[in-house]
Amino acid sequence: MSLGAAEDDSGTEIHLPADIDWEMLDKSKFFFLGAALFSGVSGMLYPMVVLKTRKQVITKDVSCVKLAVSILRSEGCRGFYRGFGTSLVGTIPARSLYMGALEMTKSNVGCVTVKMGFSEAKAAAIANAAAGVSAAMAAQLVWTPIDVVSQRLMVQGGNSAVRYNGGVDAFRKIIRTDGVRGLYRGFGISILTYAPCNAVWWTAYSMGHRAVWGGIGCYYLKKEGDGGGVGGGGVGFTPDSKAIVAVQGLSAAMASGFSAVITMPLDTIKTRLQVLDGEGSNGRLSIGQTVKNLVKEGGLSACYRGLGPRWASMSLSATTMITTYEFLKRLSTKNQDCHI
C-alpha cells in the first residue's frame, strides 16, 4: 500500500504493508487468537469502565478521583472488577460477531465503492463507516444482555439497591422479573449509540491515519528538499514496524476522542435505561423520563458525566485494540509470507 503525501502531486510515497482483507484470513485462528488477545486488553481497561458507569448513574457529580478512592475504601480492588466475569463471557461471541461483520463489510463495500469510481481515500472512509455500523449492530445482539447484567453488577455498592450474587444470579432475577425483554433493555438506544459511534470512529480513524501519514510524507519531502539530495524523481520511504504501530495508536486515540464527545449523551441515557428503575409501568424508565431527570440534575453537563473515564477508556482501548487487531490480522493470514 502506498500513500502520497497529503494526497498531492508531490511524488512522495510512503510504502506501507499491504492491507489484509477477509479472504486472506485463517478464520479459526483469527477468532481464537482474537478472543484471547482482546480478553486481556478488556481486563486491563475494565476499572475505567466501572468508574464511567457509576458516574453516569449517580445523581450528584463526583470527581473521578473521589469516586475511585470511595470504591477502593469501601469495596477494595474487587470493586473495580464487579461484573468482569460476566463481561468476559460475553466478550468472546460479541467480538467474534464484531470482527466478522467488520471485515466482511469493509472488504465488500470497499470493492463496490472503488468500482463506482470513488477515490481510494473516499472509498476507505465509506467502507469503514459501513463496517462500523454493521459490526456494532451484529455485536449488540450478544452484548446488550451482557451489558445489562455486568452494569448492574458494576453499580452494586454504589447507587443500586438491588443485590445480585454474581452474574448467574443477576441473569435469573432479571428474567424472573422482566422476562427476556429485561435482558434487552436499552437495545434500541444501544444501537443508536454504538452504530453511529462505530461509524464515526472507523471513519475518523481512516481519515486520521491517512492524514498522519500524509504529514509524515510532507516532512520527509521537506527534509529531502532541504538536504538537496533529491533530484527530479519521486521520493519514497518504507517505515519500520514501530512507526506503523505509533501512527495506528495516534490515529486511534484521535478517533476515540472525537467519537466519545459526539456520542456521550446517548451513552449516558443508555446506561441509565439499563441500570436504573423508574416510576413508570413495570418500574421501567422511559427515554423521555431519563432525559427529564438528566435535565433536572444539571442539563447538558449531566449527560457528560463520566466523559473523562470514557474518553480515557476509549482512547486506551482503541489504541491497544487497533494495534492488537492489526497484529492479529497479520498473525492470522493464510499466507505466512506477510510480515509485520
229 has pLDDT over 50: no
What CA–CA distances, in Å, run from 105 to 110, 124, 138, 164, 192?
A: 8, 12, 11, 39, 19
Least confident of 4-13, 113-122, 157-166, 310-319: 4-13
Q: What pLDDT, on a 0 to 100 scale, did the predictor assign at position 32?
A: 74
Please state the rounded mean pLDDT for residues 123-150. Answer: 88
Q: What pLDDT, on a 0 to 100 scale, did the predictor assign at position 17?
A: 62
Euclidean distance between CA atoms 34 and 168, whole angstroms: 25
- How confident is the prediction for the chain on average, in pLDDT? 78
Which carries the bigger pLDDT value, residue 77 or residue 216?
Answer: 77
Q: What pLDDT, on a 0 to 100 scale, did the predictor assign at position 5?
A: 43
* This prediction's pTM: 0.67
Q: Which CATH code for domain 27-221+239-332? A: 1.50.40.10
Domain spans, the chain: 27-221+239-332
Least confident of 18-32, 125-139, 194-208: 18-32
Q: What pLDDT, on a 0 to 100 scale, did the predictor assign at position 10?
A: 46
